[in-house]
Homo-oligomer: A and B are copies of this chain.
Amino acid sequence: MPTARDTTAKSDSAALDADPDAAAAHFWEMRLSPDMLDEGQPTPLYHQIYMVMRSVIEQNEVGPGTLLPGEQTLTRLFAVSRITVKRALNELAADKLVSRHRGRGTIVAPRSSIPMVRSSFDNLIESLQEMGLVTQIELLEVGEVSAGDSAAGSLLKLPANALLHRVVRRRLLEGQPLAYLITFTPKDIAASFSVEDVAHKTFLALLERAGAAPHEAEQWITAVAAEPQMAAALDVSVSAPLLKIERIMRDASGRPVQLSLGYYRPDRFQYHVRNVTLREQRGAALAAE
C-alpha cells in the first residue's frame, strides 16, 4: 500500500525498503497487467481499466492521498494507448474517486466515510441498537397485489386469487440510502395494518399484534444488478451490484406470514457470519475449495 510520501513504506525486497517511490512502483507493477483486460469482452477497454482502478481504491489497497501512476506508466502497464488510460482516469475523477491536476498527477480522493453496517444474524441483539437507532425508515409505497401477479404469491404458498399487502420502504443510514425493502404479507394477516402503523411501527410488532408472531425464518442471499427504480432510491447507477436478501418468516404452525425482499448497497451493508462451529466450518471450508 504505497502512500505518496511515506518514507516508512515497507516491502518484501530489502532494496525497495530504502526507496518508497520504488516500492510504490513495485506495487503497481505487481498489481496491474495487460491480462487483466479482455479484448473479447464487449465492454470498452477504458471501462475495464476504470473497473480495475476503482476496485483498487475501494478495496483500500491504496489510501487517500496516494499518487497513482502517470498516464505514461499506465499506458505501459496495461499495454493500451494513452487516450484510453486517460479516459479511464477521467471517469474515476468524474466519480470523485480521484482528483487530477496538470503537472501534479492523479491522486486518490479522501474517503466519503459513511459508516458501514455489518449485520450479523447470530448476535444481532447487540447490533440491534446500532441498526435500529442510527438508521431511519422512509415509507415509499403501500398497496395490494394479487398473489397470481407476483412471484411472492407462490413463495407464500397462496392461491392465485389471494391478496397480498405490499409495502415498499427505504432505509437510511446517517441520512444516506442503505436499503430498498419490499414486504409482502397475506391480506388476512395484514388486514389490521394501517398506513400509520406501517410507517411508524415495526413489522415484528404488527405481526405479533395480528396473532401471527414469526417463529422461524429462512433466507436466501444473492447479488443482483440494480434496476432503475431501486437505483434511483439507493442513489447508485443502474446495474450497480446490490446485495439481495430474500426472507420468508413462518409462524409456529409453519404457515408463511411474511416475505421480504431487501436490496442493500454493498458499500454500506455486509452480511456477517462468525463463530462458524467445526461441523459447519468443515462444510464452509469445502465450499471454498
Chain A interfacial positions (CB closer than 8 Å to B): 1, 10-13, 26-27, 30-31, 35-38, 40-44, 46-48, 51-52, 55, 59-61, 118-119, 121-125, 127-128, 131-132, 137, 145-151, 160-161, 163, 171, 181, 183, 202-204, 207, 214-225, 227-229, 231-232, 237-245, 247, 249, 260, 262, 264, 266, 269-289
Contacts and interface: CB of A to CB of B under 8 A. Distances in A.
A38 B238 contact: yes
30 contacts: A1-B151, A10-B148, A11-B149, A12-B146, A12-B148, A12-B163, A26-B149, A36-B228, A38-B238, A38-B239, A41-B239, A42-B237, A43-B228, A48-B227, A48-B228, A61-B151, A121-B273, A121-B280, A123-B283, A125-B283, A128-B286, A132-B286, A202-B285, A207-B285, A216-B278, A219-B276, A220-B273, A223-B266, A241-B241, A271-B271
- Copies, count: 2
A222 B203 contact: no
Tell me whether chain A's interface is mostly helix, strand or loop, or mixed: mixed
B286 A202 contact: yes
A280 B221 contact: no
A243 B118 CA distance: 16
A228 B35 contact: yes
A260 B286 contact: no
Given A41-B232, A161-B10, A286 B219 contact: no
